[in-house]
Amino acid sequence: MKRDIKPIVKDIISYALIIIAVVLIRLFIFDPVRVDGPSMDNTLKDGQVLILNKIGYKKSEIKRYDIVVADVCIDGTNSCKKKERVVKRVIGLPNETIYAKDGKIYVNDEKVDDSFAKGITEDFELTGFTKLRANDYFLVGDNREVSLDSRVFGPVSKEDIKGKASIRIWPLNKIKSLNYKK
């Protein structure tokens, strides 16, 4: 009884191509990201799953209010051994001055829309310099009273921003685009 090996080889090649396609998509285009902790309450909740769009910023600029995923040194240095992945909102863009006074955030001395924030934003100023550098962004969590963000770890360079969180996919009853429209 002789079996034809061609159908088996075709199946193996088909499955291998599917696996390679999935790996390439996750490496270069989209990746699921889990929200860890309450720092983005009420916009995002602990345990929700987002789709990270890795190529979006190759075609367009990072915008104020985008929700991004970044790798940061929580201790505020750039020399930590292992960076932590965080989900935060972009508030300050390159070459802008940013501070909070009386619970309100100001960029270039103009109050920004902070309607998505939960809790009171404590007053802060940039330390060590007066404005963000040409490649830096200021990220904050929406839950201002518990978020470890740029107020703690400082500005985040564009290279450390891994992409934009574009869609919430879990839980299923909360599927939604995360684009902020002003």
162, 138 in Cβ contact below 8 A?
no
Give the DSSP per-residue string, 50-103. EEEESSHHHHS---TT-EEEEEE-TTS-S--SSPEEEEEEEEE-TT--EEEETT
Question: Is 168:48 a contact under the CB 8 Å cutoff?
Answer: yes
Supply the DSSP symbol for 159.
Answer: G
Question: Which is it for the CA torsion 119, 125, 131, 137, positive or negative?
Answer: negative
Active site residues: 39, 88
